[in-house]
Amino acid sequence: ANNGRPLAMWSCASDKFGTKVLAAGVNEVIFLGRAQRPVYLLIHRDDTEGLTLSLEDASDLLGKTTHEKILQLADRHPDSHVAALGPTGEHWQQNFYAAIACSAVNQLHSRDCKPRFAGRGGMGSIMGSKNLIAIVAQAPDVHRGKLPPALLEANKEISRGPGSRNYRDPDKGNGNGGTWRNVAGLHPIGALPEMNFRPQGNDKPVPLYRKSLESNSHYFIKDESCFKCGISCHKNIYAAEEENGRRKPGKFFTKFDYEPLDLLTINLGIYDQQQALEIVELVDQLGFDSISLGVTLGYIMEYNQRHPQQPIVDGLSFGDFHGACRVIQRTAAGQLPEVGRGVKRLSEQRGETAYAMHCKGLELPAYLPETNPGYPFAIAGGHMSMRTFLLLVFDGKTDMDYWVDAITNPNRGVYYMRDDILGLCKFAGAPDKVIEPVFKEIYGVEITREDLVHATQRTYLRGLLLERQQGTTVDDYVLPARVYERNPNVQLPHFITPEFWHELRQRVLQAFEAQIETYGLREAT
């Protein structure tokens, strides 16, 4: 918040780490205070000793990448899964947006760097502040036998239904190709963040379209998945090899997802395919939130473009791949706190906040803020907890009533948080009608869509109350001031004026206030 206090935040990672924690019989671990030396938590369950929790010496893990730590601990503790920091989280005092990398089944089998990340909001920095370098969950898998019919039905819908279509490949129920498709979808309409969220109106991003890499004979793109997921949204890129006249995947490079890809390459003026693969992988290995890092680097590059005589951070400039990699490595090592503490602090320190792309201190995902006035009202990240980020592209609406409703109607923007409450991947796109019978069969609880809507809305409103409790004022709910300037390269209506914004904010906050009263919620004491 503007007063420097942290706001409510959560962050999730997919694959099997959570399943292993649960298999050990643990629902929740609360860490208080700070260990005196670097440690990792070992959650261990076996048939003779039952459940034990111990803090183990982690000094031999320090300085290693996320992937190295995960493999080392998984080798040391067979049949385990691991959550680990990279060097970034070890230097938590200088880095406020470190991520937590969670091992994936595919990663442990292939020994390729394919972890899943709890990336947003600096959870890795919090973990680092406790001198907690990793968590290992070691327990035999729980075999639950035949799945109940409602769960099988839900899995079928999730794997092949329309809700997850955008994340699947064409050979999996006519999918649309994964989040990467957004580069080719948003670039032609000038809605792709380029050079610090300023679409340039040129063809430079085209080499980073999925079809461009597909047509490059050096690469082999394979869709792979988290543990037991039929959607397979990971678009993993390998060096192409030939065997008996057939192409097959060779050395693994990295995975392309829309946000890291855009924000670490196109948003920094980097368009080379191989460089894109390297920078995305570097950031995964070092354990950053790639969104926060990409946005902060984009700000620095624009600042230096505006101030060629007095540049900051090694004079980093758009398109400087090698310079960016050096800055990333030095930041991870704790040598550049002005980068590692994020774009809000840096822009305030430089006295130029208009083009710092964040809301409430959390760097924006890769959707232009001039297309999404819902950003400031998101509780845990603009593309994770408020589904208003592509509405202008899909609906094209710019009137006040539409946007007030999009943000405050419990069935719309906020309902995106339902999946966080249920523990579902947001890409599953599971309709309520398949979730309700699963609850009945597994927990014996009857829930209706209305129950889910109310539970989600109450959760959101409690988040708002937590923000208020931390001392937010109306001035915390703002967009980067550059949204008021029309970029002629953006081929979407420009509708957020200062007058529009002030009226919208007033009406949205009033609507939420009325909901808080209706539910009888209040700040915790």
Quick one: which of 136, 191, 226, 316 contacts ligand SF4 (CB under 6 A)?
226
Shortest Cβ 104–ligand SF4 spacing (Å): 9
CA 496 to chain centre: 26
CB 93 within 8 A of CB 334: yes
Stretch that binds ligand SF4, among 210-218, 226-234, 436-444, 458-466 (CB under 6 A): 226-234
Tell me which DSSP letter residue 354 carries: T
17 binds ligand SF4 (CB under 6 A): no
Distance CA(295)–CA(311), nearest Å, equals 17
Tell me which DSSP letter residue 141 carries: P
Distance CA(505)–CA(511), nearest Å, equals 10
Shortest Cβ 178–ligand SF4 spacing (Å): 8
Shortest Cβ 522–ligand SF4 spacing (Å): 36
Place of tokens 């992937």: 67
- 23 vs 233, beta carbon nearer ligand SF4: 233
- 80 vs 155, beta carbon nearer ligand SF4: 155
Question: Residue 238: CB partners within 8 Å, gap ≥ 6?
Answer: 219, 220, 221, 222, 249, 250, 251, 252, 253
Place of tokens 């929790």: 53
Quick one: which of 100, 113, 208, 229 contacts ligand SF4 (CB under 6 A)?
229
Stretch that binds ligand SF4, among 72-80, 92-100, 225-233, 473-481 (CB under 6 A): 225-233
14 binds ligand SF4 (CB under 6 A): yes
Q: In the window 418-447, what residues touch ligand SF4 (CB under 6 A)?
A: 425, 427
Q: Spell out, one character per residue from 278 to 307, where the chain touches ligand SF4: x when CB under 6 A holds, - when not.
A: ------------------------------
Shortest Cβ 298–ligand SF4 spacing (Å): 25
- 233 vs 339, beta carbon nearer ligand SF4: 233
Helix (H, G, I), strand (E, B) or coil at 75: helix
- 170 vs 498, beta carbon nearer ligand SF4: 170
- 158 vs 300, beta carbon nearer ligand SF4: 158
Q: What is the DSSP string of 421-460?
A: HHT--GGG---HHHHHHHHHHHH-----HHHHHHHHHHHH
Quick one: which of 231, 266, 384, 479 contacts ligand SF4 (CB under 6 A)?
231
Helix (H, G, I), strand (E, B) or coil at 42: strand
- 14 vs 372, beta carbon nearer ligand SF4: 14
Stretch that binds ligand SF4, among 5-13, 223-231, 258-266, 352-360 (CB under 6 A): 223-231
462 binds ligand SF4 (CB under 6 A): no
Shortest Cβ 369–ligand SF4 spacing (Å): 25
If phi > 0 it is left, if psi is from -120 to 50 it is alpha, else beta; for residue 423 that is left
Q: In the window 23-52, what residues touch ligand SF4 (CB under 6 A)?
A: none
- Which has the closest alpha carbon to 326: 259, 278, 266? 278
Counting residues that bind ligand SF4 (by CB under 6 A) gives 11
Quick one: which of 81, 172, 234, 345 contacts ligand SF4 (CB under 6 A)?
234
Angle formed at CA 98 by CA 222 and CA 318, multiple of 5 degrees: 70
Stretch that binds ligand SF4, among 48-56, 193-201, 231-239, 474-482 (CB under 6 A): 231-239
Q: Which run of H or of E encompasses 304? A: helix 290-306
Half-sphere exposure in the Cβ direction for 369 (13 Å, CA)? 28
Q: The tokens of 68 are what?
A: 């190295």
12 binds ligand SF4 (CB under 6 A): no
- 211 vs 228, beta carbon nearer ligand SF4: 228
CB 466 within 8 A of CB 176: no
Shortest Cβ 468–ligand SF4 spacing (Å): 32
233 binds ligand SF4 (CB under 6 A): yes
Q: In the window 132-191, what residues touch ligand SF4 (CB under 6 A)?
A: 167
Strands (DSSP E) along 93-186, which ranges? Answer: 100-102, 116-118, 132-138
Helix (H, G, I), strand (E, B) or coil at 482: helix
Shortest Cβ 222–ligand SF4 spacing (Å): 13
- 226 vs 324, beta carbon nearer ligand SF4: 226
- Which has the closest alpha carbon to 462: 357, 339, 380? 380
Quick one: which of 94, 95, 196, 225 contacts ligand SF4 (CB under 6 A)?
225
Shortest Cβ 427–ligand SF4 spacing (Å): 4
The 3-class secondary structure across 71-96, one letter per residue, is HHHHHHCCCEEEEECCHHHHCCCCCC
Binding site for ligand SF4 (CB under 6 A): 14, 167, 225-226, 229, 231-234, 425, 427
